């Protein structure tokens, strides 16, 4: 059996009357790129905060690299590198000073700090900005620096909570290039949360979470095959053709004058065109997507709201007065 980087068993967490997590269980093998996909408010960040020892679970158990996050919190933290939603760099310090300070906090020896700082800066392409003040960096550069900082103490698991929120599309894509490089070239275990469906296509496995419950967990390919829908969209030539198609396929979707027939086999597609091919203006076969999967599992499209999570880094250093020494 593969070594597990994350073990979560029947974790529940409630805030007032809100049940943020409801009997959540999952496992992440070492070396996997694992995504938690869900809308804001789904429970992703609450689960991350429990794994990071910020919040205590109301019930259940969680382990990081074999260490219980409640009873062995210090050892669990030493195994973690974390990039929270909210910026947590010291803007008054330089890029180098932020990395060096983090290394000191985690008791990384001086010689090893001198070796790792140029390594992580090269990884995220910030070598030229080594001596720049953090306040002068762009948003994307700051996020890259936070990834580099999280790697300074060579963690067993890298957690990134909504790492691309607020970034433009080009910078989002670049951040994911760094994530893929970490996972593939270094064999690092990466757990990332996101509400951007397009970002999880390259992950090894995707856990869809909504309203505090796991809705599905599998590879992107398996999720599409199990829950996704292929739709044959056609534009009827006239009202009579439209009525005929709806008479044959009463469950057809209707959108902007087009009709959509779901999950036809190759033979059924051929039969459709044999019967209606001369009565349609255009056709398009829409393949299954993770958006379809999410819609099928939750009954709604994924929401795109502003991310929360303020002060997580502060809490990470406060609970129980613990930190790595």
Question: What is the pLDDT tens value at each position of the chain, 325 positions in all?
Answer: 569 999 999 999 999 999 999 999 999 999 999 999 999 889 999 999 999 999 999 999 999 999 999 999 999 999 999 999 888 999 999 999 999 999 999 999 999 999 999 999 999 999 999 999 999 999 999 999 999 999 999 999 999 999 998 899 999 999 999 999 888 888 899 999 999 999 999 999 999 999 999 999 999 999 998 988 888 999 999 999 999 999 999 999 898 899 999 889 899 999 999 999 999 999 999 888 898 898 888 877 775 443 444 445 445 555 443 333 2
- Do residues 112 and 61 share a domain? yes
- Do residues 200 and 244 share a domain? no
- Do residues 45 and 148 share a domain? yes
- Do residues 61 and 204 share a domain? yes
- Do residues 123 and 266 share a domain? no
- Do residues 97 and 160 share a domain? yes
Domain count, the chain: 2
- Do residues 151 and 267 share a domain? no
- Do residues 217 and 250 share a domain? no
**pTM assigned to the model:** 0.81
List of long-range contacts for 261-264, beta carbons under 8 Å, 24+ apart: 261/231, 261/232, 261/234, 262/229, 262/230, 262/231, 262/232, 263/229, 263/230, 263/231, 264/230, 264/232
76, 67 contact by CB (below 8 A): yes
Domain range spanning residue 196? 4-224
- Do residues 33 and 146 share a domain? yes
User: Cα angle at 174 between 307 and 225, to 5 degrees?
Assistant: 75
- Do residues 45 and 180 share a domain? yes
Pairing of strands 258-262, 67-68: unpaired
């Amino acid at each position: 059996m593969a070594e597990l980087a994350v073990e979560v068993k029947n974790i529940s967490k409630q805030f007032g009357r809100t049940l943020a997590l409801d009997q959540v269980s999952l496992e992440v093998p070492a070396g996997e790129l694992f995504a938690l996909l869900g809308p804001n408010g789904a429970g992703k960040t609450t689960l991350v905060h429990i794994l990071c020892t910020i919040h205590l679970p109301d019930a259940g158990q969680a382990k990081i690299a074999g260490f219980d996050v409640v009873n062995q919190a210090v050892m669990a933290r030493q195994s973690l590198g974390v990039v929270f939603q909210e910026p947590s760099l010291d803007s008054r310090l330089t890029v180098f000073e932020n990395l060096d300070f983090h290394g000191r906090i985690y008791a990384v020896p001086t010689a090893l700090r001198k070796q790792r700082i140029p390594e992580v800066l090269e990884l995220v392409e910030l070598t030229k900005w080594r001596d720049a003040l953090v306040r002068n960096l762009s948003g994307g550069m700051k996020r890259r620096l936070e990834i580099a900082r999280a790697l300074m103490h060579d963690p067993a698991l890298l957690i990134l909570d909504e790492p691309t929120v607020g970034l433009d599309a080009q910078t989002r894509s670049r951040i994911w290039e760094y994530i893929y490089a970490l996972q593939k070239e270094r064999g690092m275990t990466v757990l990332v949360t996101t509400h951007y469906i397009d970002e999880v296509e390259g992950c090894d496995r995707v856990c869809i979470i909504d309203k505090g419950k796991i809705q599905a967990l599998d590879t992107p390919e398996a999720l599409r095959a199990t829950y996704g829908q292929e739709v044959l969209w056609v534009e009827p030539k006239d009202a009579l053709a439209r009525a005929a198609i709806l008479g044959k396929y009463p469950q057809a979707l209707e959108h902007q004058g087009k009709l959509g027939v779901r999950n036809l086999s190759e033979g059924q597609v051929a039969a459709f065109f044999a019967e209606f091919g001369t009565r349609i203006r255009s056709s398009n076969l829409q393949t299954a997507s993770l958006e379809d999967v999410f819609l099928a599992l939750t009954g709604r499209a994924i929401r795109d709201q502003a991310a929360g999570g303020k002060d997580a880094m502060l809490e990470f250093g406060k609970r129980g007065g613990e930190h790595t020494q």
